[in-house]
């Protein structure tokens, strides 16, 4: 796989993870406001962060890699 294809794949996976992490709040809103469930935001936060944090790292892997290289060079 070429470097450009790898970059496109990582960015696409990052975007998907970010969208899934943000979509968690849609489920929370439906349960909490739409169905009057006792859904607490703290129950959904780990799932949100599990999608958004790695998604941002995948989308910006070159940026974070350059910072790490500068720190350890």
Contact 1, 39 (CB under 8 A): no
pLDDT value of position 33: 93
Would you say 47 and 21 are in contact if contact means Cβ atoms under 8 Å apart? Answer: yes
CA–CA distance, 7 with 60 (Å, rounded to integer): 10
55 pLDDT exceeds 80?
Answer: yes
Domain ranges for the chain: 8-71
pLDDT at 63: 82
Greater confidence (28 vs 61) lies with: 28
Query: DSSP letters of 22-60?
Result: HHHHHHHHIIIIIS-----HHHHHHHHHHHHHHHHHHHT
């Amino acid at each position: 796989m070429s470097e450009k294809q790898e970059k496109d794949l990582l960015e696409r996976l990052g975007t998907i993870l970010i969208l899934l992490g943000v979509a968690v709040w849609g489920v929370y809103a439906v349960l909490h406001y739409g169905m009057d469930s006792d859904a607490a935001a703290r129950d959904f936060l780990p799932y949100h962060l599990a999608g958004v944090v790695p998604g941002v790292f995948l989308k910006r892997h070159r940026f974070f890699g350059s910072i790490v290289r500068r720190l350890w060079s």
